[in-house]
Structure 1
C-alpha cells in the first residue's frame, strides 16, 4: 500500500492545526507535522503576492487522498488551497503498519 506525504500551505497556525486535528480524529491521516511560518511568493489574480504561511504535512494511505482533499477544502479559507501529495518510495515496514493501524485503511 502506498503512503502519501501530503503538503498543505495554510494562512495561520490555527487553520493548520484545525485541519491536522480533523484529519487525525477522522482517521484520514495517521499524523501531521506543522512547520512555519515560511515566506511564500505566488501570483494571484495577476498580482505577485508575498505572505507568511504555515506548512502542514500529513502521512496517510493513498486511498485517503480524496477524503483529505475534501476535508481541506471544507476547512481551509483559501479559494484555491495548495494541496499536493508525494508518494513515499520507501517506508519502513513498522511505520507503514503504524500508519495503517491509525487510519481507516
Structure 2
C-alpha cells in the first residue's frame, strides 16, 4: 500500500502559503496543507548569511505524487529556490492514510 508523504517548505508570508496550499489541495496533489506562521530563519544565501521571517507549510500527500507535487509547488512558489523536503512516513494511522489516499490523485 502506498505510504503517506509529508513535504516541508517555507513561504514569505501566510497569505502566499495559503493561496499555494489551496491550489495544491484543489489539484488533489495534497490532502491538507498546514501553515504555521511566525518562524524566524537564519540561512545562507548566495554567499551571505541572511535573517528573515517566514512561515512553514507542511503538505500531506502520498509517495506516488511526490514528483508532481514538487513540480507544481516549484511552479507556484515565489522563491527562486524553494525549500522542498520530502519527509518519508514510516507508519501512519490507517484512517489517516486512507483519508490522504481518498483526497489525492485522480477523482
TM-score by length of 1: 0.95
* Root-mean-square deviation (Å): 1.0
State whether residues 15 and 75 of structure 1, in contact with CA within 8 Å, keep that contact through their aligned partners in structure 2: no
User: How far 1:76 sits from its partner (Å)?
Assistant: 1.0
TM-score by length of 2: 0.93
State whether residues 5 and 86 of structure 1, in contact with CA within 8 Å, keep that contact through their aligned partners in structure 2: yes
Which consecutive unaligned segments of at least 5 residues does structure 2 have? none
Q: For 1:11-60, what per-residue CA distance to the aligned partner results, in whole angstroms no more than 9, with x for missing partners?
A: 11121111110110000111111102200111111110000000001110
State whether residues 31 and 61 of structure 2, in contact with CA within 8 Å, keep that contact through their aligned partners in structure 1: yes
2: CA distance between counterparts of 1:96 and 1:20?
19
1: CA distance between counterparts of 2:66 and 2:23?
14
3-state SS of paired residue (1:42): strand
Partner of 2:33: 32
1:48 aligned to 2:49? yes
